[in-house]
């Protein structure tokens, strides 16, 4: 097509055969079959130039023409037609005596190899060269091809696009075929890097999926400044720019070859990859697999790991080969092919399938469950019984058995025992920071009052014997109420220990999500174990001193001598709390709390029963023995009764 301005196009329209076909009668020994898949570019060029000429806004007062020549693929014939087209058949290079219209630019393609070969000739004469084939990395060489412009979009995300497709079909055992030139060497490092990141392995023979790469991408910062500024939209709506700095990234089409009978093939677009969002879209229902297959083919070194399992590498094998290992306790894997299992939060636990974290069931000793209800009823019953005993002692306060061994200490002991029974209720129910603090401090203080009262009563027994002994002048100690100060002093020491405990590391609410699967145990943490055992040890020290004194005074001859009862009460108290320590540390969740409550109730009930049961028996059932002279005569027959 003639025009004011000409563009030369060199396409491989047909090849020259070397063997004469049987149907060829021309006798020239050559056949010239057209290559139709390249001839379509001729039609596209003609259509594009016609559209340019019809639009008055493109070229003002100029008509664009074209001259298309066949470009031979054989290396020794590559320069023939381009040379003839540019300089004439009978003219010398760089010289023409005929004034004819010359081409101002050359269009080559689609083969990058052919464009490179022609580009060597065009570079000598500074012809701008435009290539419309896939972007070729070899053509981006500034030194060898300073006048080449490639119209293809950038191709830097081809590796990511390929990896996205492989991951979609779970193909991690694939083959790779690429050319051993600059184009192949350019894509290999990036493709291998992405494969290593995603545990995809390249295998030479046994893979069912083969990656064939023959196109590369690069641009040149140099077909000429006027060409760099060209930017337009083609008829398909795609933006075209020749400047590498402004060139857009290419979207990649995913094409599937449909096979028809008689060897016919059709390339069908089934998906697309966008480099900007690194997102792939694929219509799997449009994909036709090999004959006989209706599902995607399988190409993996090992089976995928489903939810509840993690991938662990197989020794001495490629990175894509792995075992499926179940997640550990309280860990989950809620996806496929996960390399690490995720640990469930403290207030959740992993289900049996290890693929979901479920909220844990909060557990603590409640009033509704049988164990909590039994301990609650026991505490209320014993505290009520102690209150009744206190009422009996108050009603019979003028009798000798109540007055003996310090009446005030008996009242203090009974009141402290009431609080001992009631403090066990603080251990039942949902714990909070307030109840955690009250549990230990109330327990420590009220038990100190009770044990120190027992110690004071024991000292009273000893002093009473000393007073009745000849030659002793200890009566003023009893009359001054000195034993009562023992209770006060011992209690103040324990209050000081509790104050130090609360000031340094007080008890607090805590949770245990590991002792029992699926349950979150809510309990009170002792805070400072040293302070806890100091409080408990101080109680044990007071009990041991009381037991020792009571044991030494058990056979002292005195009316209403309760030293034996005090001895038994302290012996029982020490046995209970010595047994408590190993049992408490071997128990779990609410059983630990139940053990502590049971120890509180049993030790308090031991004090109540051993000390006050014999006295209530005499007061209520044997009032005839509640007389000083009568009791002394029955207890020590043969002795003279003192006046």
Instruction: Write out pLDDT tens, residues 354-388.
Output: 999 888 777 788 888 888 899 999 999 999 999 99
The answer to whether 416 and 612 have CB atoms below 8 angstroms apart is no
Quick one: pLDDT at residue 384?
94
Q: Is the pLDDT of residue 248 over 90?
A: no
Angstrom distance (rounded) from CA 63 to CA 60: 8
Exposure string of 526-561, with b = 16+ CB inside 10 Å and e = fewer, is bbbeebbebbbebbbebbebbbebbbebbebebbbb
Fold of 370-503+532-634: Rhopdopsin 7-helix transmembrane proteins (1.20.1070)
pLDDT > 90 fraction of the chain, expressed in percent and rounded: 12
Least confident of 241-255, 434-448, 466-480: 466-480
Quick one: pLDDT at residue 95?
58
Q: What is the largest CA-CA distance in the chain?
A: 167
Exposure string of 580-612, with b = 16+ CB inside 10 Å and e = fewer, is beeeeeeeebbebbbbbbbbbbbbbbbbbbbbb
User: Quick one: pLDDT band at residue 299, thresholds 50, 70, 90?
Assistant: confident
Quick one: pLDDT at residue 573?
84
Question: Considering Cα of 87, then 92, then 98, then 104, what sign does the dihedral take?
Answer: positive
* First-to-last C-alpha distance (Å) of the chain: 155
Quick one: pLDDT at residue 81?
65
Quick one: pLDDT at residue 89?
60
Minimal CA–CA distance to 127: which of 96, 94, 89? Answer: 94
Quick one: pLDDT at residue 630?
41
User: Quick one: pLDDT band at residue 640, thresholds 50, 70, 90?
Assistant: very low
The answer to whether 481 and 524 have CB atoms below 8 angstroms apart is no
CATH code, residues 157-210+251-301:
3.40.50.2300
Which stretch, 38-47, 217-226, 492-501, 540-549, has highest mean pLDDT? 492-501
Where do you find CATH 1.20.1070.10 in the chain?
Answer: 370-503+532-634
Q: Is the pLDDT of residue 200 over 80?
A: yes
Angstrom distance (rounded) from CA 220 to CA 116: 14
72 against 228, higher pLDDT: 72
pLDDT > 70 fraction of the chain, expressed in percent and rounded: 74
Quick one: pLDDT at residue 635?
42
466 burial level (CB within 10 Å; 0-12, 13-18, 19+) = middle
Quick one: pLDDT at residue 37?
62
User: Quick one: pLDDT band at residue 414, thresholds 50, 70, 90?
Assistant: very high
Q: Is the pLDDT of residue 495 over 90?
A: yes
Quick one: pLDDT at residue 246?
60
Q: Is the pLDDT of residue 235 over 80?
A: no
Give me the chain's average pLDDT, please: 78
Instruction: Write out pLDDT tens, residues 507-560.
Output: 888 877 766 666 777 888 888 889 988 998 898 898 888 888 878 776 666 555
Q: Does the 5-17+30-150 domain belong in CATH 3.30.499.10?
A: no
299 against 631, higher pLDDT: 299
Q: Is the pLDDT of residue 19 over 60?
A: no
Q: Which residues contact 7 (CB under 8 A, 6 or more apart)?
A: 49, 64, 65, 66, 67, 103, 104, 105, 106, 107
Angstrom distance (rounded) from CA 428 to CA 243: 80
Angstrom distance (rounded) from CA 198 to CA 206: 20
Residue 452: both structure tokens together = 């120190």
Instruction: Write out pLDDT tens, residues 95-135.
Output: 555 445 467 888 888 877 778 878 777 777 778 888 887 77
Quick one: pLDDT at residue 478?
53
User: Quick one: pLDDT band at residue 187, thresholds 50, 70, 90?
Assistant: confident
Instruction: Write out pLDDT tens, residues 134-177.
Output: 777 778 777 788 888 888 876 777 888 888 999 888 888 888 87
Instruction: Write out pLDDT tens, residues 201-228.
Output: 888 666 778 787 764 333 233 364 445 5
The answer to whether 448 and 539 have CB atoms below 8 angstroms apart is yes
563 against 148, higher pLDDT: 148
Angstrom distance (rounded) from CA 599 to CA 593: 10
Quick one: pLDDT at residue 501?
92
Where do you find CATH 3.40.50.2300 in the chain?
Answer: 5-17+30-150, 157-210+251-301
Average pLDDT rounded to a whole number, residues 473-482:
54
């Amino acid at each position: 097509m003639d025009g004011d301005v000409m563009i030369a196009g060199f396409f491989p329209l047909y090849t020259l055969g070397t063997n004469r076909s049987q149907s060829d009668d021309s006798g020239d020994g050559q056949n010239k079959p057209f290559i139709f898949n390249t001839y379509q570019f001729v039609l596209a060029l003609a259509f594009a130039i016609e559209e340019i000429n019809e639009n008055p806004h493109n070229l003002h007062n100029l008509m664009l023409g074209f001259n298309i020549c066949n470009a031979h693929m054989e290396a020794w014939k590559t320069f023939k037609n381009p040379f003839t087209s540019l300089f004439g058949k009978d003219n010398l290079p760089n010289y023409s005596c005929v004034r004819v219209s010359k081409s101002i630019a050359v269009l080559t393609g689609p083969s990058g190899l052919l464009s490179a070969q022609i580009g060597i000739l065009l570079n000598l004469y500074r012809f701008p060269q435009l290539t419309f084939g896939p972007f070729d990395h070899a053509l981006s060489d500034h030194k060898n091809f300073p006048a080449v412009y490639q119209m293809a979009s950038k191709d830097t995300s081809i590796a990511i696009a390929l990896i996205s497709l492989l991951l979609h079909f779970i193909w991690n055992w694939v083959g790779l075929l690429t050319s051993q030139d600059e184009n192949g060497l350019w894509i290999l490092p990036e493709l291998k890097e992405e494969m290593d990141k995603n545990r995809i392995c390249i295998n030479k023979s046994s893979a069912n999926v083969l990656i064939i790469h023959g196109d590369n991408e690069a641009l040149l910062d140099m077909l000429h400044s006027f060409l760099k500024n060209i930017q337009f939209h083609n008829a398909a709506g795609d933006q075209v720019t020749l400047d590498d700095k402004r060139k857009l990234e290419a979207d990649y089409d995913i094409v599937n070859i449909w096979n028809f009978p008689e060897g016919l093939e059709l390339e069908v677009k089934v998906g697309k990859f966008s480099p900007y969002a690194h997102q792939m879209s694929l219509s799997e229902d449009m994909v036709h697999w090999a004959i006989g297959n209706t599902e995607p083919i399988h190409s993996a070194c090992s089976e995928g790991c489903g939810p509840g399992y993690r991938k662990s590498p197989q020794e001495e094998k490629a990175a894509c080969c792995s075992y499926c290992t179940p997640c550990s306790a309280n860990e989950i894997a809620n996806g496929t092919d996960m390399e690490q299992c995720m640990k469930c939060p403290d207030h959740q636990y992993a289900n049996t399938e290890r693929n979901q974290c479920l909220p844990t069931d909060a557990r603590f000793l409640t009033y509704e469950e049988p164990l909590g209800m039994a301990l609650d009823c026991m505490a209320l019953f014993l505290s009520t019984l102690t209150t009744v005993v206190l009422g009996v002692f108050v009603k019979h306060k003028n009798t000798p058995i109540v007055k003996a061994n310090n009446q005030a200490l008996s009242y203090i002991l009974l009141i402290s025992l009431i609080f001992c029974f009631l403090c066990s209720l603080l251990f039942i129910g949902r714990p909070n920071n307030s109840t955690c603090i009250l549990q230990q401090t109330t327990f420590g203080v009220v038990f100190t009052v009770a044990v120190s009262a027992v110690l004071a009563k024991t000292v009273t027994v000893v002093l009473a014997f000393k007073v009745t002994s000849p030659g002793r002048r200890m009566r003023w100690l009893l009359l001054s109420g000195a034993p009562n100060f023992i209770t006060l002093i011992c209690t103040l020491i324990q209050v000081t220990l509790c104050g130090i405990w609360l000031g340094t590391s007080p008890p607090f609410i805590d949770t245990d999500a590991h002792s029992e699967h699926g349950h979150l145990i809510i309990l009170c943490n002792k805070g400072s174990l040293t302070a806890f055992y100091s409080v408990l040890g101080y109680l044990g020290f007071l009990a041991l001193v009381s037991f020792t004194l009571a044991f030494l005074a058990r056979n002292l001859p005195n009316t209403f001598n309760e030293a034996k009862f005090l001895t038994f009460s302290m012996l029982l108290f020490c046995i209970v709390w010595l047994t408590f320590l190993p049992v408490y540390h071997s128990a779990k969740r609410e059983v630990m709390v139940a053990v502590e409550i049971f120890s509180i109730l049993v030790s308090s009930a031991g004090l109540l029963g051993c000390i006050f049961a014999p006295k209530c028996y005499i007061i209520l059932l044997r009032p005839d023995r509640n007389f000083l002279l009568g009791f002394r005569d029955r207890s020590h027959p043969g002795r003279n009764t003192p006046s």
